[in-house]
Every structure is written in C-alpha cells, then in structure tokens.
A and B are shown apart, each in its own frame.
Chain A
Amino acid sequence: MAQETAHALVSHVIRRLTFSPTKELVERFAKGAASPQAAAKSAIEWALSAPPRPLTPETLPEDGWDPSLRGWLGNMSSPEAGLHEKMTWFWHSHFANSSEKVGNQNLLHAQQGLFRKHALGNFGKLLREISTDPAMLLYLDGSGSNVSAPNENYAREVMELFTLGRGSFSEDDVKSGALALAGWNVDYETGKVTFDASAALGGEVLFLGRRGRLSVDDVVATLLAHPNCAPYVASKIYAYIAGAPPTKERAAELGKVFRSANYEIAPLLADIVNSPEFLSLRLNRPRYPIEWFVAAYGALGTPREDAKDGGDMQPWNLQQLDQLPYKPPNVAGWPPGPKWLSPSQQLTRLAYAWGNSWWIRPIEGSDLVATVLQRCALHEVSEATRSALHDAALATAGSADALSVSRRLLTAALCSPEFSLA
C-alpha cells in the first residue's frame, strides 16, 4: 500500500467517520503530526467524541418537508459533525421508513430525533423505542393491528432486517410476534401512540423459544437475547464503517464485543475504528450518494458574492441520485455495493457537479490540479486520474476563461473514481 501519508490516512478517517471531509479538517490533523498513524489516531479520537448535532429545526413549520431535509443536510455538512452524525444516518437506513407511506413529516422528523438520541447510545433502547415509534407503527402497519387478525409486517421485518437476519426465525415466530405486538394505535394527526388492551394478546404465545403472554418489552428482550442479534447488527455497522463485511470470525468477535457492552453502540464503534485493519481498508466501497453529495457540495465551496441565487445545495438532486432522505427504496434501506458506480449514477453525479459549479470562484494558483485535489480532500490519487486532470487543465488553458477551466476540473475531480469511493 503506497501513499500512506498522514494526509491520506486522515482523509480516509474523516471520509468514513463524517460526511464532510474538508481540506481544513484534513489539515487540522495531518499537519505536524508525529507520524501518519498518530495523525489518523487524533482524527479518530476527534470523530468519536465530537458532540452530537441537535435535531434541526427543533420544530417543523406547517409544510415541514423541505426544512426537515435541509436541517439534516446542514448538520451533515457541519465541520463540527463527527461519527454521531454518520450513525444517525445509519439508523435511518437500518430502520428505513418512507415518507411515501408514513405521510406525516412531523413524525419522520421526530423519528430522526430518535436516531439522533440513540445514534451512539444503546441499541436495545433504540429498538424498544422504534418498536412503538409512531412513524414505524404506520410504516410497518403496527398501528391498528388487532389480535383477532394481527398484522405480520413489523413482526417479520424486525426479525429479518432489524435484528436477526434471514434464517433465524420461523413463520410461527412471525405469527406469534404479530400477536404479541398487536394493540398499538397511532393518531395520524397528533402522532399520539396509545395501547388498547382489548386488541392485544390475551393468551400465551411461543416466540423464538420463549413462551408467555408477551408484551412489546418481552419481544424486544427476546430479540436482544437471541444469539444472532449482536453479530448481525454489529456486522452491518462494521460493513458501513470499514467498507466490507467482516469475516465470519470477526463477526463473531464483534458480536461478543457488542453483547458484552450490553448493546452500547460507542464501544462497538471504538473497537471497529481502533482495530488495525480499519486504516488499511481504504477506498474499498463506493460512496453512497448522500456521502458523495455532501462531500461534493463542500468541495464546490461557497458561492461568489455576486451570485445571489447560487450556493443552494439543491437537495432535491438527491432524489435523482436515488438517495433522498426519508425515501428509502423499501424497508431494507439503501443497499450497499457497486450499484452506486453504475453509468446512470455517474451521469447524474456529472450533471449535478457541472450544473452546480457555475457560481464558484475561479481556482487560482500555479498548480491547478493540486489545488483541486486538496479542495476535494483527495490525497490518494492514481497517476491515471492525475494525468487526466492535467490534460483537462492544459488542453483548454489558452482558449477558455478561467471559470470554465475551474468548473471542468472540479467536475472531473468530483466524478473521478477516487472521489466516488469512500
């Protein structure tokens, strides 16, 4: 592995543990460090302990979709935001609820608050709260489920996707879980959640080996006690942070760490990011569109003073990039993998970068390519990309104005393979 400079390692840490890997952040930890590893360590420590960002705005106006979206993106873009922000997003994709079905943005905004509250907290508490969260009750049809004809949706997905994984439960467990979870209702207007004992389980069920008149608390406790729960959830977090799924042995180890920490999330993450492999697992997964988008916005920089209508983040582009917050494709959230490098994804990114760079200040300096790469926090760059960027700068330097050259260079850097990877 070449290029293990302080800048490269710090850039890796900041890319993985935050949404906003700016030039300034990289410099802050890389400059003057005793060694690349020491620089990376200080960046890790900062990201782990950076204070949580508050839910923004605190309360939503009448038509709250746009403010809710912009508030969230604003938090992601903040140079103060660390791993807490990154995990807030993780939980949104893990407990994926879509506004298309939930309908009420206030409930989804509050749900974001729940993810914020527990982002680095306790998974057991989060699981319990999400199980009767109003948006979740609406999204997976827990609301109105009656023991006389229970709705199976949440009971199935909580096991298949949220806690245990496929193959860990039977259809009888789904039916029993649905009976145990019946009786909850949401008032759609106010979001108030109530429990109707007359619609809830009266007798006993056998759920994942536990028999009794189980409540939602019992269901959650049974899930947490299941041997597959900790390794399943820990492995998903690992893949997000370290870029690749853990080996079987590592998954078991992570499960033990998570379980023995009583499902506290912070110790699990500390184990992942302080393990020796974390610093070498660089550029090994595509950036999700949301990661690419926030980083690209940061690299495009502040607008020229004379461009009054410029500088907008244009968050609706995230819809075209297939990752609009509050609109996951389904209950499994946004899938990982190279699909985010497909031609259609690349074309949409190209359109965004070009379309949102007309208001930048022309880039100045003797080495335009180096300046652009720094601006994009790219410190591990192939010769192929470097020379393509040099060509782009040279070929038209005499004939085109400085702004056009800058736009083209930035667009090419933002669409480069290196910037497309996390």
Chain B
Amino acid sequence: MNEHDFPQNQNPSLDGARNPLALSRRQLLQLLGAGSLAALGSACTQTSDAALKKPAGSKSTGKSPVAKPSAGAAGAAGLRGTNNRVLVVLELQGGHDGFSMLVPYADDRFRKLRDRVWTDPKDLHVLDDRYALSKGLEPVAKRLSFIEGVGVGKPNLSHFDMLQRWWQGDPEGNAGLLTGFLGRCCDASAGGEPVTAVSLGGGSTPSLISTKATTVALPALDAVRDISKNEEEQRRLKKAMQTLAGARTDAEKLGSGKDTEQLMAMARRGLTGSLDLAAMVGRIGEPPKSYPDNDIAQTLALTRQLISLEAGIKIFHIPWGSFDTHTNEVGTHADHMNRLGAGLEAFAKDLEASGLSDRVLLASTSEFGRRAEANQSGTDHGTASTMLMMGPIKTGRHGQPVNFKALDNEGNVKATTMMTDYYATLASWIGVRPEDVLPKNSHAISTLSI
C-alpha cells in the first residue's frame, strides 16, 4: 500500500521534511490549532521515526499538507442519527492475548500449543461447546461482542512498529502518515466543540494526532483541583498566565533561532490549552460510588462523567494495562480481566442509569496478539487477536475464527479480519465515512448492526 490509497486531504505529509520542526510556520500554527502537540511529540520519538519518512518514490501531491477535511456527508453534522454518539477506545497495551480472553477451549490444536498456560474450562465462563470467556468478564458476558482474528496482512513483531501502524491506522506502516486514525476521525466529525477527543490516564497519544480538531490528554485531576482553592488568587494567577500564554510570538531570535521560536510557540499554545483544560476539570465532580476501586473502573467512571458534561467530546482514548505477558500469563491476564469485568459492569449499569447506553460504544485495540504456542509460562509477541466491544450492537462472536493449524513462519496465526475493516466499523459508529479516514476498500463489519 502507499499513501495514495489514503484520502489525500487527510494526510498531512511533510514533503521532504524529516524533522517536524522544519514545518512551515503556517503548517505549524494549524497543527497547533489542533492542540495536537502530542502528535508532534510522537513524530520526534525514535520509535516513530518512520512516521516522518515518506515511502520511496512517493511524490508530492502539490496539495496543502494540512488542508481541511472534506465537508461531505461525514462533516460536522455527521451521518444521520450519529451526531451525539461517543466512541470509547480501550487500548490494551503491550499486545493482548485475545485467546486468553475468548478461549477456543475445544480446539485440540490450540489446547496443545497452550499446554503451559492452560486454564481449565471449569475456571472459565463457558459460553458454548467451543468457546469460554475469561472468568473476570462473566458479569458482562451477555453484553459483549467479540471480533476474532483482527490483524494486518503483513505483520511485524515489534511493539513499536505495530503500535505505530495501529495508532496511525496504516496496516503496513509505510504510508508516511502524521495523523492518528482517531485524530482523523476527530477531524472528520468535529463540529465546533472545544475538545473533540480526550486521552485518559496515559498522557498524550499519537493515535489522537489531528490537523483540525482539538484533542487533549487529561492529567490527574487532584493536582489541578489544588490550584483553585482561593478564588481571588486563582483569578489573578489566571490573568498572569493568560498574559504569558497570549504573548505575541517572539520577534527576536533566541537560542537556535527558528527551532526555538517554534518550540516557544508550542509552549504558549500548551499554556493556553492548560487554562481551557483547568476550566473543564473544574466542572467534574467526585467520582460515582458505584464503581469498584480499581484503575480501569475509575477511568471508566471519569469517562462517564465527562460524557455527561455534554461538552461535545466524541472520542475517549484509554490506554490501559500491561499485557506483554511473556511470563506468568495465566495470573497476569486473569487479574486484568477481573478488573476489566468489574469496571465494565459498573460502566454499563451507569450508562443505563444515565440514559446514555444507546450513545456509547466501547471497543478495544492492541498492537498485536500473542504467539500461538506458549513459552515456559507465557507467550511471545504474536499477530492477530480477538477484539472486544460493548455497546448497543449485536453481541456475541463476529468475524472468522483463526486457524491454529495454519500458522505462519514465526508460528503465528493469520488475520481473518483486517485492522482497517475493524477501524471502519469504529469510524462508522461516530458517523465518519471509512473512505475519509482509512485506505480504500475498508468496510465496516456488517454483522454487528451498527
């Protein structure tokens, strides 16, 4: 695949520029207008260096690299009936073993491969004569949808390579994209709200890099709440910060000249954004008591509170967990599923009580699954994996099961559902046309009845 398979107006390629600081002033300000500092940050990391590389032989399109997204049917108004929908993306960090979540326990070949990390079906929540769920998900077993075998055609086993492909929505990692898939969804669906997407709990994320919409990471709330104890003081401090943030960009050259000037502009935008963020944080109350006291449950509680602000946030990104289960897989995975199941149960009930359940879809991602065959007590990096969804869609299993008898050269399963089709499903949910944000021929999974 090459970048021309992507909708060009969504693809802010940097013609020949490997260093984001070499962006033109106009490009930079537009990117900053997006509040997408996180995005620029990621472009500077070693691990996502390739994000800035244009594929060999690709030519400049001559179009503005930060042109506005099309104002087509998927513009601000969204597709009919989708404009108040919310997408919650749960990123299971480290490469999640979907086979330990939705266990094909009756598959003899799988049984053999996983002998060293086997959980007896009596300790699982058995769904039918072929599949069982990790026990922790039992409380929400009837609410969940699963997509089997989600992955890419030519996988790689590096965390950082695959993270980049998933973050960018670029199945082969060679399209030279600077935006994230979720960031492009924000651009295509933004309708004037101050913040279109929020990342919770993990700092900024490259998946939310956008060119137009504002996407932010929300810091820990208690640190911020401390600022506002004395109202008069706060007013004065805010005024000082506003003056600092709002200063015209500096005419004289400091430090390294242009690079410094651009970083200073970013810092001032960051300050402006921080004041907006503080205002938003000020409107959030104490967390609801109905959620268990674990990390993912509390993050889901905050998500529901933010949805209830009705501030127009369309996408929540929640990076969570440490699923890189090279060792001690059985215990680590079960512990995560226990927390997740309890959190999802509280979330689902809270959404019902708040009249929000028809508007919210939660969907998992992960850079890859785990190796079909276990090592001593865990599993090494793999490829395709089972994704989890919860929302007003058709529950149960979707897609095609993977074939444990037809592994690739590295001993990994082959994907049966493409990442891009899975992503097309998520885009459709919030009223974004897949062709506006993904490579051609990406189609939503029809059996989910979204």
User: Interface size bucket, A side?
Assistant: 35 or more
Chain A residue at minimal CB-CB distance from B116: A149
Residues from chain B with a CB closer than 8 A to the CB of A174 are 157
Contacts A338-B44, A404-B233: A382 and B254 contacting too (C-beta < 8 A)? yes
Does chain B have a CB within 8 A of A387? Answer: yes
CB-defined contacts of B256 to chain A, threshold 8 Å: 1, 243, 280-284
Instruction: Tell me the bound Cα distance from A191 to B36 in angstroms.
Output: 44
Interface 9-residue window, one of B2-10, B72-80, B221-229: B221-229
Which residues in window 266-295 of A have CB below 8 A to B?
Answer: 280-286
Alpha-carbon gap, A101 to B264, bound state (A): 37
Tell me whether A122 is interfacial, beta carbon within 8 Å: no
Q: Whole-angstrom distance between the alpha carbons of A212 and B43 in the complex? A: 40
Tell me the smallest distance from the CB of B178 to a CB of chain A, in Å: 13
Interface pair A236/B236, CB less than 8 Å apart = no
User: Taking the complex as formed, is A374 at the interface, i.e. its CB lies under 8 A from any CB of chain B?
Assistant: no
Q: Please, which residue of chain B has its CB at the minimum distance from the CB of A384?
A: B247
Q: 1/0 contact trace for A281-313 toward B, CB 8 Å?
A: 111111000000000000000000000000000
What's the nearest-Cβ distance from chain B to residue A98, in Å? Answer: 8
- Interface pair B241/A415, CB less than 8 Å apart: yes
User: Smallest Cβ distance from B53 to chain A, in angstroms?
Assistant: 11
- Chain B interface (Cβ within 8 Å of chain A)? 19-21, 35, 37-38, 40-47, 50, 93-94, 116, 157-161, 202-204, 216-220, 223-224, 226-227, 233, 236-237, 239-241, 243-244, 247-257, 259-260, 263-264, 266-278, 322, 324, 326-327, 373-378, 380-381, 409-410
With A286-B263, A388-B244 as known contacts, state yes or no: A342 contacts B273, CB within 8 Å.
Answer: yes
Chain A residues positioned under 8 Å from B42 (CB to CB) = 335, 337, 339
In the assembled complex, 26 residue pairs joining A and B whose CB atoms fall closer than 8 Å, in A order, are: A141-B327, A160-B160, A174-B157, A243-B256, A244-B259, A332-B160, A336-B45, A339-B203, A342-B41, A342-B270, A343-B269, A343-B271, A345-B270, A346-B274, A348-B220, A348-B223, A350-B274, A355-B227, A383-B250, A384-B250, A395-B239, A412-B241, A415-B244, A416-B244, A417-B271, A421-B255
CA distance A361 to B18 in the complex (A): 47
Contact: B377 with A144, CB < 8 Å? yes
A345 to B145, CA, bound (A): 36
Chain B residues lying within 8 Å of A331, measured Cβ to Cβ, are 159
Stretch at the interface among A48-56, A80-88, A151-159, A251-259: A151-159
Contacts of A264 in B (CB 8 A): none
Q: Per a CB cutoff under 8 Å, which of B46, B226, B254, B275 touches A332?
A: B46
Residue pair B224, A347 in contact (C-beta under 8 Å): yes
Residues 74-101 of A at the B interface (beta carbon under 8 Å): 100-101
How far, in whole Å, are A395 and B240 apart by their CA atoms in the complex? 9
Contacts of B264 in A (CB 8 A): 283, 382, 417-418, 421
A408 on the B face (CB < 8 A): yes
Q: Does A420 contact B (CB under 8 A)?
A: yes
Check B378 against A141 for contact (C-beta < 8 Å): yes
Chain B residues with CB under 8 Å of A1's CB are 253-257
Contact of A351 among B116, B223, B260, B326 (CB under 8 A): B223
Q: Are B250 and A346 in contact (CB under 8 A)?
A: no
Question: Which chain A residues have a beta carbon within 8 Å of chain B's beta carbons?
Answer: 1-3, 12, 100-101, 140-141, 143-146, 149-153, 156, 160, 165-166, 171, 174, 236, 243-245, 280-286, 317, 319-320, 322, 329-332, 335-348, 350-352, 354-355, 380-385, 387-389, 391-392, 395-396, 400, 404, 408-409, 411-412, 415-418, 420-421
Chain B contacts for A415, CB-based, 8 A: 241, 244, 271
Closest to B264 in A: A417
**Nearest neighbor of A286 in chain B, beta-carbon distance:** B263
Is A141 in contact with B326, judged by CB distance below 8 angstroms?
yes
Which single residue of chain B is at the shortest CB-CB distance from A389? B244
What is the CA–CA distance of A380 and B252 in the complex, to the nearest angstrom? 11
- Chain B residues with CB below 8 A from A145, complex form: 375-376
Residue of B nearest to A393 (CB): B240
Report B429 CB to chain A, min CB distance, Å: 26
Q: Are B263 and A383 in contact (CB under 8 A)?
A: no
A175 to chain B, nearest CB (A): 8
Q: Is the CB of B243 within 8 A of A392?
A: yes
A335 — nearest CB in chain B belongs to which residue?
A: B45
In the complex, are the beta carbons of B219 and A320 less than 8 A apart? yes
A339 to B40, CA, bound (A): 7
